[in-house]
Protein backbone atom coordinates (compact mmCIF):
# COMPACT_ATOMS: atom_id res chain seq x y z
CA UNK A 1 0.00 0.00 0.00
CA UNK A 2 2.79 2.40 0.92
CA UNK A 3 4.73 1.68 -2.27
CA UNK A 4 1.54 2.23 -4.25
CA UNK A 5 1.05 5.64 -2.66
CA UNK A 6 4.70 6.61 -3.04
CA UNK A 7 4.73 5.55 -6.68
CA UNK A 8 1.64 7.63 -7.42
CA UNK A 9 3.22 10.55 -5.59
CA UNK A 10 6.39 10.30 -7.67
CA UNK A 11 4.36 10.28 -10.88
CA UNK A 12 3.00 13.67 -9.83
CA UNK A 13 6.36 15.40 -10.01
CA UNK A 14 6.65 15.56 -13.84
CA UNK A 15 3.01 16.64 -14.12
CA UNK A 16 3.42 19.45 -11.61
CA UNK A 17 6.69 20.59 -13.18
CA UNK A 18 5.14 20.61 -16.64
CA UNK A 19 2.16 22.47 -15.28
CA UNK A 20 4.28 25.17 -13.69
CA UNK A 21 6.27 25.65 -16.92
CA UNK A 22 3.07 25.87 -18.95
CA UNK A 23 1.45 28.44 -16.67
CA UNK A 24 4.67 30.42 -16.45
CA UNK A 25 5.28 30.50 -20.20
CA UNK A 26 1.66 31.31 -20.90
CA UNK A 27 1.73 34.47 -18.83
CA UNK A 28 4.93 35.52 -20.60
CA UNK A 29 3.64 34.66 -24.07
CA UNK A 30 0.92 37.27 -23.80
CA UNK A 31 0.79 40.06 -26.30
CA UNK A 32 2.85 42.79 -24.66
CA UNK A 33 3.85 40.53 -21.78
CA UNK A 34 3.02 40.96 -18.11
CA UNK A 35 4.28 44.55 -18.10
CA UNK A 36 1.35 45.52 -20.32
CA UNK A 37 -0.91 43.77 -17.86
CA UNK A 38 0.68 45.80 -15.10
CA UNK A 39 0.78 49.19 -16.77
CA UNK A 40 -1.95 49.01 -19.38
CA UNK A 41 -1.51 49.71 -23.06
CA UNK A 42 -0.60 53.39 -22.68
CA UNK A 43 2.73 53.73 -20.94
CA UNK A 44 6.11 55.26 -21.60
CA UNK A 45 9.06 53.07 -22.64
CA UNK A 46 10.98 54.26 -19.57
CA UNK A 47 8.21 53.19 -17.23
CA UNK A 48 7.99 49.81 -18.97
CA UNK A 49 11.74 49.29 -18.65
CA UNK A 50 11.53 50.23 -15.00
CA UNK A 51 8.77 47.69 -14.31
CA UNK A 52 10.56 45.01 -16.34
CA UNK A 53 13.64 45.46 -14.22
CA UNK A 54 11.66 45.52 -10.97
CA UNK A 55 9.90 42.25 -11.78
CA UNK A 56 13.00 40.66 -13.32
CA UNK A 57 11.31 40.49 -16.72
CA UNK A 58 14.48 41.65 -18.49
CA UNK A 59 16.33 38.45 -17.62
CA UNK A 60 16.36 35.26 -19.78
CA UNK A 61 13.16 33.21 -19.49
CA UNK A 62 14.78 30.13 -17.96
CA UNK A 63 16.37 32.31 -15.27
CA UNK A 64 13.02 33.94 -14.55
CA UNK A 65 11.39 30.53 -14.29
CA UNK A 66 14.03 29.15 -11.95
CA UNK A 67 13.83 32.15 -9.66
CA UNK A 68 10.00 32.01 -9.71
CA UNK A 69 10.01 28.30 -8.86
CA UNK A 70 12.66 28.87 -6.19
CA UNK A 71 10.16 31.18 -4.53
CA UNK A 72 7.12 29.00 -5.23
CA UNK A 73 8.57 26.03 -3.35
CA UNK A 74 8.85 28.39 -0.39
CA UNK A 75 5.16 29.23 -0.98
CA UNK A 76 6.06 32.72 -2.19
CA UNK A 77 3.86 33.53 -5.21
CA UNK A 78 4.80 37.20 -5.37
CA UNK A 79 2.73 40.24 -4.44
CA UNK A 80 -0.82 40.92 -5.52
CA UNK A 81 -1.14 44.05 -7.66
CA UNK A 82 -4.62 44.92 -6.42
CA UNK A 83 -4.09 44.42 -2.67
CA UNK A 84 -0.28 44.84 -2.47
CA UNK A 85 -0.12 41.86 -0.12
CA UNK A 86 1.59 38.48 -0.60
CA UNK A 87 -0.40 36.30 -3.01
CA UNK A 88 0.07 33.24 -0.79
CA UNK A 89 -1.51 35.09 2.15
CA UNK A 90 -4.47 36.20 0.04
CA UNK A 91 -4.95 32.71 -1.34
CA UNK A 92 -4.71 31.02 2.07
CA UNK A 93 -7.28 33.33 3.65
CA UNK A 94 -9.82 33.05 0.86
CA UNK A 95 -9.25 29.39 0.20
CA UNK A 96 -10.83 28.60 3.56
CA UNK A 97 -14.09 30.15 2.39
CA UNK A 98 -13.93 28.16 -0.84
CA UNK A 99 -13.11 25.02 1.11
CA UNK A 100 -16.06 25.57 3.44
CA UNK A 101 -18.35 26.08 0.46
CA UNK A 102 -16.97 23.10 -1.49
CA UNK A 103 -17.14 20.88 1.60
CA UNK A 104 -20.76 21.83 2.25
CA UNK A 105 -21.63 21.28 -1.41
CA UNK A 106 -20.04 17.83 -1.52
CA UNK A 107 -21.68 16.91 1.79
CA UNK A 108 -25.06 17.89 0.37
CA UNK A 109 -24.40 15.95 -2.85
CA UNK A 110 -23.24 12.81 -1.02
CA UNK A 111 -25.92 12.81 1.69
CA UNK A 112 -28.72 13.18 -0.86
CA UNK A 113 -27.16 11.49 -3.89
CA UNK A 114 -26.02 8.15 -2.48
CA UNK A 115 -29.34 7.22 -0.76
CA UNK A 116 -31.31 8.43 -3.78
CA UNK A 117 -29.12 6.55 -6.25
CA UNK A 118 -29.23 3.47 -4.05
CA UNK A 119 -33.03 3.37 -3.85
CA UNK A 120 -33.32 4.12 -7.57
CA UNK A 121 -30.84 1.36 -8.41
CA UNK A 122 -32.57 -1.20 -6.21
CA UNK A 123 -36.02 -0.40 -7.60
CA UNK A 124 -35.56 0.31 -11.32
CA UNK A 125 -38.51 1.92 -13.12
CA UNK A 126 -40.18 2.89 -9.82
CA UNK A 127 -41.40 6.47 -9.37
CA UNK A 128 -38.37 7.34 -7.31
CA UNK A 129 -36.11 5.96 -10.05
CA UNK A 130 -37.86 8.01 -12.72
CA UNK A 131 -37.77 11.08 -10.50
CA UNK A 132 -34.05 10.71 -9.92
CA UNK A 133 -33.39 10.22 -13.65
CA UNK A 134 -35.27 13.38 -14.67
CA UNK A 135 -33.86 15.30 -11.73
CA UNK A 136 -30.27 14.39 -12.48
CA UNK A 137 -30.75 15.29 -16.13
CA UNK A 138 -32.01 18.75 -15.18
CA UNK A 139 -29.32 19.08 -12.53
CA UNK A 140 -26.60 18.65 -15.12
CA UNK A 141 -28.23 21.00 -17.65
CA UNK A 142 -28.69 23.95 -15.26
CA UNK A 143 -25.55 26.07 -14.97
CA UNK A 144 -24.65 26.98 -11.38
CA UNK A 145 -25.23 30.68 -11.93
CA UNK A 146 -28.75 30.12 -13.29
CA UNK A 147 -29.59 27.80 -10.39
CA UNK A 148 -27.97 30.26 -7.99
CA UNK A 149 -30.28 33.04 -9.17
CA UNK A 150 -33.30 30.79 -8.93
CA UNK A 151 -32.50 29.67 -5.38
CA UNK A 152 -31.66 33.20 -4.36
CA UNK A 153 -34.94 34.55 -5.68
CA UNK A 154 -37.19 31.84 -4.23
CA UNK A 155 -35.58 31.02 -0.88
CA UNK A 156 -33.89 34.29 0.02
CA UNK A 157 -35.85 37.12 -1.60
CA UNK A 158 -39.38 35.65 -1.66
CA UNK A 159 -39.41 33.31 1.34
CA UNK A 160 -36.66 35.00 3.32
CA UNK A 161 -35.39 31.71 4.79
CA UNK A 162 -31.76 32.21 3.84
CA UNK A 163 -29.36 35.06 3.05
CA UNK A 164 -28.63 36.35 -0.43
CA UNK A 165 -24.99 37.46 -0.23
CA UNK A 166 -21.85 37.25 1.87
CA UNK A 167 -20.61 34.74 4.42
CA UNK A 168 -21.89 36.33 7.59
CA UNK A 169 -23.86 39.34 8.73
CA UNK A 170 -21.40 42.26 8.97
CA UNK A 171 -22.88 43.27 12.32
CA UNK A 172 -21.69 40.01 13.86
CA UNK A 173 -18.19 40.30 15.23
CA UNK A 174 -16.88 36.96 16.33
CA UNK A 175 -13.51 35.29 16.40
CA UNK A 176 -12.40 33.10 13.55
CA UNK A 177 -9.88 30.59 14.85
CA UNK A 178 -10.26 28.24 11.86
CA UNK A 179 -11.57 30.50 9.10
CA UNK A 180 -14.55 28.20 8.54
CA UNK A 181 -17.35 30.46 9.76
CA UNK A 182 -19.93 27.83 10.77
CA UNK A 183 -17.29 25.83 12.62
CA UNK A 184 -15.88 28.98 14.23
CA UNK A 185 -19.29 29.84 15.67
CA UNK A 186 -19.62 26.36 17.15
CA UNK A 187 -16.07 26.30 18.56
CA UNK A 188 -16.32 29.71 20.19
CA UNK A 189 -19.77 28.82 21.54
CA UNK A 190 -21.33 31.71 19.62
CA UNK A 191 -24.30 29.75 18.29
CA UNK A 192 -26.16 32.73 16.77
CA UNK A 193 -23.05 33.49 14.71
CA UNK A 194 -22.82 29.85 13.59
CA UNK A 195 -26.49 29.88 12.62
CA UNK A 196 -26.05 33.11 10.69
CA UNK A 197 -23.05 31.71 8.81
CA UNK A 198 -25.05 28.55 8.11
CA UNK A 199 -27.89 30.62 6.64
CA UNK A 200 -25.38 32.26 4.32
CA UNK A 201 -23.86 28.93 3.33
CA UNK A 202 -26.97 26.88 2.49
CA UNK A 203 -27.96 28.34 -0.89
CA UNK A 204 -24.48 28.59 -2.43
CA UNK A 205 -23.77 25.03 -1.26
CA UNK A 206 -26.95 23.72 -2.87
CA UNK A 207 -26.28 25.65 -6.09
CA UNK A 208 -22.73 24.34 -6.26
CA UNK A 209 -23.65 20.84 -5.12
CA UNK A 210 -26.40 20.17 -7.64
CA UNK A 211 -24.22 18.99 -10.52
CA UNK A 212 -22.22 16.58 -8.32
CA UNK A 213 -25.53 15.50 -6.78
CA UNK A 214 -26.88 14.63 -10.22
CA UNK A 215 -23.71 12.79 -11.18
CA UNK A 216 -23.35 10.93 -7.87
CA UNK A 217 -26.99 9.83 -8.06
CA UNK A 218 -26.53 8.51 -11.58
CA UNK A 219 -23.29 6.69 -10.85
CA UNK A 220 -24.63 5.18 -7.61
CA UNK A 221 -27.77 4.02 -9.39
CA UNK A 222 -25.82 2.40 -12.22
CA UNK A 223 -23.31 0.77 -9.87
CA UNK A 224 -25.97 -0.59 -7.50
CA UNK A 225 -27.96 -1.95 -10.41
CA UNK A 226 -24.90 -3.64 -11.87
CA UNK A 227 -23.67 -5.12 -8.61
CA UNK A 228 -27.17 -6.33 -7.67
CA UNK A 229 -27.10 -8.62 -10.71
CA UNK A 230 -23.71 -10.11 -9.89
CA UNK A 231 -23.35 -13.80 -9.13
CA UNK A 232 -21.93 -13.21 -5.67
CA UNK A 233 -25.05 -11.29 -4.64
CA UNK A 234 -27.26 -14.13 -5.80
CA UNK A 235 -25.00 -16.59 -3.96
CA UNK A 236 -25.20 -14.54 -0.79
CA UNK A 237 -28.97 -14.41 -1.04
CA UNK A 238 -29.14 -18.13 -1.77
CA UNK A 239 -27.03 -18.82 1.30
CA UNK A 240 -29.85 -17.28 3.29
CA UNK A 241 -28.10 -14.11 4.39
CA UNK A 242 -30.43 -11.41 5.52
CA UNK A 243 -31.26 -8.66 3.08
CA UNK A 244 -29.58 -5.96 5.15
CA UNK A 245 -26.31 -7.89 5.34
CA UNK A 246 -26.32 -8.53 1.60
CA UNK A 247 -27.07 -4.87 0.97
CA UNK A 248 -24.42 -3.57 3.29
CA UNK A 249 -21.58 -6.00 2.80
CA UNK A 250 -22.00 -7.15 -0.77
CA UNK A 251 -23.86 -4.54 -2.76
CA UNK A 252 -22.96 -1.26 -1.12
CA UNK A 253 -19.29 -1.98 -0.60
CA UNK A 254 -18.74 -3.06 -4.19
CA UNK A 255 -20.91 -0.32 -5.65
CA UNK A 256 -19.01 2.37 -3.78
CA UNK A 257 -15.83 2.08 -5.88
CA UNK A 258 -16.96 4.17 -8.85
CA UNK A 259 -18.85 6.47 -6.49
CA UNK A 260 -15.71 7.30 -4.51
CA UNK A 261 -13.88 8.09 -7.74
CA UNK A 262 -16.59 10.42 -8.91
CA UNK A 263 -16.79 12.17 -5.52
CA UNK A 264 -13.08 12.86 -5.71
CA UNK A 265 -13.19 14.09 -9.29
CA UNK A 266 -16.17 16.30 -8.54
CA UNK A 267 -14.49 17.81 -5.50
CA UNK A 268 -11.68 18.94 -7.75
CA UNK A 269 -14.07 20.33 -10.32
CA UNK A 270 -16.06 22.21 -7.68
CA UNK A 271 -13.02 24.34 -6.98
CA UNK A 272 -13.52 25.92 -10.38
CA UNK A 273 -17.33 25.82 -10.28
CA UNK A 274 -17.00 27.81 -7.05
CA UNK A 275 -15.77 30.82 -9.05
CA UNK A 276 -19.24 31.31 -10.49
CA UNK A 277 -21.16 30.40 -7.34
CA UNK A 278 -19.07 32.75 -5.24
CA UNK A 279 -19.71 35.53 -7.73
CA UNK A 280 -23.49 34.98 -7.65
CA UNK A 281 -23.64 34.99 -3.85
CA UNK A 282 -20.73 37.41 -3.26
CA UNK A 283 -19.22 34.65 -1.13
CA UNK A 284 -15.72 36.01 -0.52
CA UNK A 285 -13.69 32.98 -1.49
CA UNK A 286 -10.74 32.26 -3.74
CA UNK A 287 -13.04 31.96 -6.76
CA UNK A 288 -14.48 35.45 -6.58
CA UNK A 289 -11.01 36.81 -5.78
CA UNK A 290 -9.64 35.18 -8.94
CA UNK A 291 -12.57 36.54 -10.92
CA UNK A 292 -11.86 40.08 -9.75
CA UNK A 293 -8.12 39.63 -10.38
CA UNK A 294 -9.03 38.95 -13.97
CA UNK A 295 -10.28 42.52 -14.34
CA UNK A 296 -7.40 44.17 -12.58
CA UNK A 297 -5.09 41.93 -14.69
CA UNK A 298 -3.45 40.93 -11.44
CA UNK A 299 -1.20 38.35 -13.08
CA UNK A 300 0.67 37.18 -9.94
CA UNK A 301 -2.71 36.22 -8.46
CA UNK A 302 -3.96 34.58 -11.66
CA UNK A 303 -0.71 32.66 -12.09
CA UNK A 304 -0.45 31.67 -8.42
CA UNK A 305 -4.16 30.90 -8.13
CA UNK A 306 -4.24 28.62 -11.18
CA UNK A 307 -1.12 26.84 -9.99
CA UNK A 308 -2.55 26.47 -6.48
CA UNK A 309 -5.94 25.15 -7.60
CA UNK A 310 -4.32 22.78 -10.08
CA UNK A 311 -2.07 21.39 -7.33
CA UNK A 312 -5.07 20.89 -5.04
CA UNK A 313 -6.97 19.27 -7.91
CA UNK A 314 -4.07 16.89 -8.63
CA UNK A 315 -3.68 16.06 -4.92
CA UNK A 316 -7.40 15.34 -4.56
CA UNK A 317 -7.15 12.98 -7.54
CA UNK A 318 -4.16 11.32 -5.89
CA UNK A 319 -6.19 10.79 -2.72
CA UNK A 320 -8.94 9.25 -4.83
CA UNK A 321 -6.46 6.83 -6.38
CA UNK A 322 -5.09 5.90 -2.98
CA UNK A 323 -8.56 5.42 -1.52
CA UNK A 324 -9.24 3.17 -4.48
CA UNK A 325 -6.34 1.04 -3.29
CA UNK A 326 -7.83 0.97 0.19
CA UNK A 327 -11.21 -0.20 -1.06
CA UNK A 328 -10.03 -2.59 -3.72
CA UNK A 329 -7.12 -4.96 -3.01
CA UNK A 330 -6.81 -5.70 -6.73
CA UNK A 331 -5.68 -2.13 -7.44
CA UNK A 332 -3.30 -2.13 -4.50
CA UNK A 333 -1.44 -5.23 -5.66
CA UNK A 334 -1.45 -4.45 -9.35
Partner 1 sequence: MSLSQGVEAVESADSSAAGPPEEAAGGLWRDAFRRLRHNPTAILGAALVTIFVLVAIFAPLLAPYDPKVADLSQIRPGDFPGPSREHLLGLDSQGRDELSRIIYGARYSLLIGVVSLAVGATLGVILGLIAGAFGGWVDSLVMRLVDIMLSIPGLLLAIGIAALLGRSLKSVMIAIAVVNVPVFARLLRGSMLAQRRSDYALAARSLGVTRSRIVLQHVFPNSLGPVIVQATLALATAIIDAAGLAFLGLGSPDPSIPEWGRMLAETNSLLATEPLLALWPGLAIVLSVLGFYLLGEALREALDPKLRR
Q: Tell me how far, at minimum, the Cβ of 301 lies from partner 1, in Å.
A: 10
Residues 234-253 binding partner 1 (CB under 8 A) are: none
The answer to whether 149 and 183 have CB atoms below 8 angstroms apart is: no
Can you tell me the distance from the alpha carbon of 261 to that of 324, in angstroms, rounded to the nearest whole number? 8
Cα dist. 266→61, 149, 260, 274 in Å? Answer: 36, 22, 10, 12
Residues 300-329 binding partner 1 (CB under 8 A) are: 302, 306, 309-310, 313-314
* Closer residue to partner 1, CB minimum distance, 317 or 323: 317
Residues 33-72 binding partner 1 (CB under 8 A) are: 37
Among 66, 137, 172, 326, binds partner 1 (CB under 8 A): 137
Is 146 a binder of partner 1 (CB under 8 A)? yes
Q: What is the longest distance spanned by two Cα atoms in the chain?
A: 85
* Closer residue to partner 1, CB minimum distance, 96 or 152: 152
Q: What's the number of CA atoms in the CB half-sphere (13 Å) around residue 179?
A: 15
* Closer residue to partner 1, CB minimum distance, 111 or 134: 134
Helix extents (H) in the chain? 2-28, 33-39, 45-54, 61-72, 87-122, 127-141, 144-151, 181-187, 191-228, 231-238, 243-245, 253-281, 286-296, 299-327, 329-332
Is 8 a binder of partner 1 (CB under 8 A)? no
Site pattern 150..189 for partner 1 (x: CB under 8 A): x-xx---x--------------------------------
Can you tell me the distance from the alpha carbon of 289 to that of 91, in angstroms, rounded to the nearest whole number? 9
Question: Is the dihedral angle over the CA atoms 303, 305, 309, 311 positive or is it negative?
Answer: positive
- What are the backbone angles phi and psi of residue 288, rounded to the nearest 5°? -70, -30
The answer to whether 116 and 139 have CB atoms below 8 angstroms apart is: no
Site pattern 260..299 for partner 1 (x: CB under 8 A): --------xx-xxx-xx--xx---------xx-xxx-x-x
Among 5, 8, 27, 178, binds partner 1 (CB under 8 A): 27
* Closer residue to partner 1, CB minimum distance, 28 or 93: 28
Is 142 a binder of partner 1 (CB under 8 A)? yes
Among 9, 15, 107, 111, binds partner 1 (CB under 8 A): 15
**Number of chain residues interacting with partner 1 (CB under 8 A):** 45
Q: Tell me how far, at minimum, the Cβ of 249 lies from partner 1, in Å.
A: 28
Residues 6 or more apart whose Cβ sits within 8 Å of residue 150? 142
* Closer residue to partner 1, CB minimum distance, 294 or 331: 294
Q: Tell me how far, at minimum, the Cβ of 99 lies from partner 1, in Å.
A: 15
- DSSP characters over 165-205: SSSS-TT-----SSS-HHHHHHHTT-HHHHHHHHHHHHHHH
The answer to whether 320 and 265 have CB atoms below 8 angstroms apart is: yes
* Closer residue to partner 1, CB minimum distance, 48 or 142: 142
Residues at the contact surface with partner 1, assessed by CB under 8 A: 14-16, 18-19, 22, 26-27, 30, 37, 137-138, 140-143, 145-146, 149-150, 152-153, 157, 268-269, 271-273, 275-276, 279-280, 290-291, 293-295, 297, 299, 302, 306, 309-310, 313-314
Amino acid sequence: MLTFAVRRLLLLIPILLGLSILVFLFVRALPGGPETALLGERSTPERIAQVRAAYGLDRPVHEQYLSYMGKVVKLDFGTSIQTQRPVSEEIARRFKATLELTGAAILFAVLVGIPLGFVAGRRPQSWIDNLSTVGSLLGIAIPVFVLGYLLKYVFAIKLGWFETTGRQNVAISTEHPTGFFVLDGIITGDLPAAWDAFKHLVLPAIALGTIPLAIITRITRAAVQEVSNEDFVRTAEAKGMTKSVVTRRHILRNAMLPVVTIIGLQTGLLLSGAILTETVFAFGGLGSFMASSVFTRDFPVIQGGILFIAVVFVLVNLLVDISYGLFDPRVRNA
